[in-house]
Amino acid sequence: MSDDPATLVSTRWLAQRLSSPDLRVIDASWYLPDMDRDPHAEYAEGHIPGARFLDLEDVSDARSALPHMAPPAAKFMSRMRKLGVGDGHTVVIYDGAGIFSAARVWWLFRLFGQRAAVLDGGLPKWREEGRPLTSDKPTIRDRHMTVAPRPDLMRDVTEVAQAAKLGTAQIVDARGAPRFRGDAPEPRPGLRAGHIPGAHNVPYKTLFDADGTMKEGADLARAFIAAGVDLDRPVITSCGSGVTAAILNLALARLGHKDHSLYDGSWAEWGMYPDLVIERG
């Protein structure tokens, strides 16, 4: 599949445009505690020239007890203004894991009616190809961003429970198979193990080729179809806390799927409440 500034672009595509005045590159690296990595320190040590660092927690809803929930529109606009990212910019998002947290920030851009792309293979591929890195921070000037929120791209627990009961949408879980089955404990304390009734399991890592780039065409579609997902029907994605679910949304967008949303609370919410039914196995 070709480069698409609304979904995924290659390292070559980005390298050819680094000097463009309308390009904005965002380092959205974020890691789970067991990854033992510091995204702030890694950015300071070396990042793609011109990249601005975006802390995922800083662009989340601080009022929620759930991890990194989508922020109010005003907060998203405020954080983008501080990064100098606004209307008319071509936005490319990457992270230090390959394609991980960058997809979540891509989804936030879509949620607020803005276009952005994820760098295919992320910083690991950029480094592997010997492309330039810098420790210099870019000069940032405020830029206004106009948002047009798309609530249809996000689902809450009530909507997900209804979809699970009535079968109006397929729930697709991005967690690894042991966690989905309930064989492995959840990393967050106090959560039950298992999955939403009727959910399909498409572990996000199955969407990548060996070099960390996203699969294409029939190979990408096959990852969903093999899990029993009907690509002609609506999809609600889920995961542990709404981060890797966005990788599924990115893949669905690449496949031209038009009706997919993300369960923002994901298992951090569903697994918390004993009155919500779970399945195991």
Supply the residues annotated as catalytic. 239
Q: 122, 31 in Cβ contact below 8 A?
A: no
Distance CA 138, CA 250 (A): 28
- For 236, the token pair is 């609600």
By C-alpha distance, which of 242, 228, 247 is closest to 270? 242
Give me the DSSP letters along the chain.
----TTSEE-HHHHHTTTT-TTEEEEE-----GGG---HHHHHHH-B-TT-EE--GGGGS-TT-SSTTPPPPHHHHHHHHHHHT--TT-EEEEEBTTBSSHHHHHHHHHHHTT---EEETTHHHHHHHTT---B-PPPP-----------GGGEE-HHHHHHHHHH-SSEEEE-S-HHHHHT-S--SSTT---SB-TT-EE--GGGGB-TTSPBP-HHHHHHHHHTTT--TTS-EEEE-SSSSTHHHHHHHHHHTT---EEEESSHHHHHTT-TTS--B--
